[in-house]
Structure 1
Amino acid sequence: MHEINDYLYKAHSKLKSSKKLYEIGQYADSVSLSYYAMYSAATAMLLKIGISTTRHKGTMNEIYKNYVKTDKLNHRIYANFAGTQSLRETSDYSAVVDIDDKIANIKIEQAEEFIKEAEKLIFN
């Protein structure tokens, strides 16, 4: 349980950093950290059920298989996670990134929701 709590702490820390980056207009970096906040929470969710992955795609697949297909996690929340991963890849690896304050704010809100749901699934 200690490692699970560490990943949840990391999720909250990444989310806090995402918000700080948003405040100073670094929207692409804010989106990247919103994704990593969700990813850390997803890692904690998988550890709760004894699964460890080494790749982002593996984490996505296992979350879908173990939480979405079993109706434990709402598909919309999962889709937000997957969409944020795609946007994070664009923001991290493209020379020109078109992410504005509205998109970054939506991703922060989605990360907050994902973490909240992850904590419910882990602790209830």
Structure 2
Amino acid sequence: MAIDINYNTYNYKEVNVGKYSTTRHFELVYHSGENDIFSEKIKITNDRGFAKSNPDYWVTEKNDRKWNKQTLSGLFKTDISNIYHGDTKRGKTLLIFEFLKDEHELNLYYVENHTRKDLDQVLNFIFKD
């Protein structure tokens, strides 16, 4: 059964490339849609093995001048190269991260009202051959 999939795309570019060994900082270049759901700056850090969920990375937003203490989501590998998934809003919104250009640029797909159980259908919809 086909599901209705609507999503917003956010494109980020890495700043200060190579400055930190386990953290990468990204700034928003553009986004589709009318609402600014994410901040203009995000950081992606390597997992340090403290969470039972065992993601590959963690994503954190910067609001005003400080990084949020709470992470936005963990990022988990998918079967597609350089594509990771996470969720927010207590699992009710899917986040798909596509790393581009040697991982110095990324697209964030914000897929509201879809959960991890819809992951394969969402990936097939966004990344059609």
Normalised to the residue count of structure 1, the TM-score between the two structures is 0.29
Larger proportion of helix: 1
Larger proportion of strand: 2
